[in-house]
Amino acid sequence: MSEFTEIRNPIDVQALSAYLANVPASAIRGLDVPPFFGPFDIKQFTFGQSNPTYLVVDGSGSKYVLRRKPMPNSKLVSKSAHAIEREFFLLKGIENCNQRADPGKKVPVPKVYFLCEDESVLGVVFYVMEYVQGRSFKEPDMREVPAARQSEYWDSIMKTISAIHSVDCSELVKQLPAKHFPQFQPDQLERANKNGATYFQRQIRTLGAVEKSQSKTVDSIPGFSRLTQWVLDHSPRDPDHMTLVHGDCKIDNFLFHGEKPEVAAVLDWELCTMGHPIFDLANFLQPYTFPKSLNKAILQTASIGIEDPTSAQHVQTVLSLYEKFLGHKWRENDPRNNPHDLWKLGTVFGLLRLCVISQGVAMRVKRGTASSASAKAVAELYKTLSELALSFIEEDYKL
């Protein structure tokens, strides 16, 4: 598949060119903003269905990436689903934290250059960041990589995920503006600590409200109450230290160097939060816990699955790698609060989250706001996903 597509979401090249030629002082800047030289050539990436994403090549041949909202803020149905401002500030904050982090704990992210919240420029909020050259994979088995080099790639993946979970969040939250991160402000964090609600309790509360709303339009998720109660009954306390969770941690959000087995950049941070790291791990390794038929429906390819005799052992191996690179316990006085013992919880919660996402697509299909063949295929999955999650808790699923 080509990296680029025809311009699906038109952009005013003349207005953008004028803006880039003289980025105003009102723009929110990153740490190191380069000069931009016209004329500009623009192509749209094939990815970026939620927030249109473009390659911008300036007159000097330098390449940049522009991310924009699909429409003005006033017309967005869900502002949280298109929160590119959050992504900009989060990436800028991580870049700041990287400057003080140990070499092995730096999170590879693109540099962000500026954020434009003035909708009069392009009609939407947008930001520009570094273009990172690299290769991507659709499935975590990375079958394009020779078997002899697979372990090197997995070392880099687990090192990167452990680095995300090692970010100094006490410093990071100081750089996140209250407008876009109200829940991370000191008073809110103090209130949350007093309340004692865990990451999973907060997530179940949110998912429950969304499922209830969506069930007014389409069938409810079978066994939803039982699944949510099971997660609540088995959810652990949060880590001793506030932990950054990517929220959409999967292989196609990791960009790799073209010539060596290293992660070059982690992309798509809109869903980041502070929480429990088991979800990132379970989300990344999800295809190894799904039947091949389900992977085929979700990923349009199915080279791995729970049927493979090596899947469980592979998951165990890479979880041990993660623990080695992390270098500390999630909770020092809670020995069962670890990736292996919490794997079943992470798997079931990941399925539950996918159920709600699939049901949401089904709602949009029924309302006529999502009509593609791929949307209709995803809309049909939530009952199957629910059945799989229920089977895991009924059959004592474990690695």
Instruction: Indicate whether 245 pLDDT > 90.
Output: yes
- Helix intervals (H) in the chain: 13-21, 84-98, 119-122, 150-164, 169-172, 186-195, 199-214, 224-234, 278-284, 292-299, 311-326, 343-367, 373-379, 382-394
- Which of 67-71, 182-186, 267-271 shows the lowest per-residue confidence on average (mean pLDDT)? 182-186
Q: What is the reported pLDDT for 372?
A: 66
Q: Over range 224-242, report the average pLDDT.
A: 96
Over the stretch 125-139, which tens digit does the pLDDT of each residue have? Answer: 999 999 999 999 988
Q: What is the reported pLDDT for 116?
A: 96
Q: Which of 284, 286, 201, 288 is nearest to 245 (CA)?
A: 284
Q: What is the reported pLDDT for 170?
A: 93
CA distance 94 to 99: 9
Q: What is the DSSP pairing of strand 244-245 with strand 273-274?
A: antiparallel
Q: What is the reported pLDDT for 48?
A: 59
Q: What is the reported pLDDT for 395?
A: 87
Q: Over range 58-66, report the average pLDDT.
A: 96
Instruction: Indicate whether 386 pLDDT > 70.
Output: yes
Q: Which DSSP symbol is given to 77?
A: S
Q: What is the reported pLDDT for 77?
A: 67
Instruction: Indicate whether 196 pLDDT > 80.
Output: no
Residue 371 confidence class, pLDDT cut points 50, 70, 90 = low
Q: Which of 126, 121, 150 is nearest to 22 (CA)?
A: 121
Residue 49 confidence class, pLDDT cut points 50, 70, 90 = low
Residue 2 confidence class, pLDDT cut points 50, 70, 90 = low
Q: What is the reported pLDDT for 201?
A: 94
Residue 291 confidence class, pLDDT cut points 50, 70, 90 = very high
Q: Over range 365-370, report the average pLDDT.
A: 83
Instruction: Indicate whether 193 pLDDT > 80.
Output: no
Residue 61 confidence class, pLDDT cut points 50, 70, 90 = very high
Three-state DSSP class for 307?
coil
- Which of 39-48, 272-281, 383-392 shows the lowest per-residue confidence on average (mean pLDDT)? 39-48
Q: What is the reported pLDDT for 138?
A: 87
Structural domains of the chain, with CATH: 4-130 (3.30.200.20), 147-394 (3.90.1200.10)
Which residue type does 367 have?
R
Residue 3 confidence class, pLDDT cut points 50, 70, 90 = confident
Residue 241 token pair: 């230290």
CA distance 318 to 332: 21
Residue 8 confidence class, pLDDT cut points 50, 70, 90 = confident
* Contact yes or no for 74/39 (Cβ under 8 A): no
Residue 184 confidence class, pLDDT cut points 50, 70, 90 = confident
Residue 281 confidence class, pLDDT cut points 50, 70, 90 = very high
- Which of 159-163, 222-226, 331-335 shows the lowest per-residue confidence on average (mean pLDDT)? 331-335
- Which of 124-128, 216-220, 238-242, 369-373 shows the lowest per-residue confidence on average (mean pLDDT)? 369-373
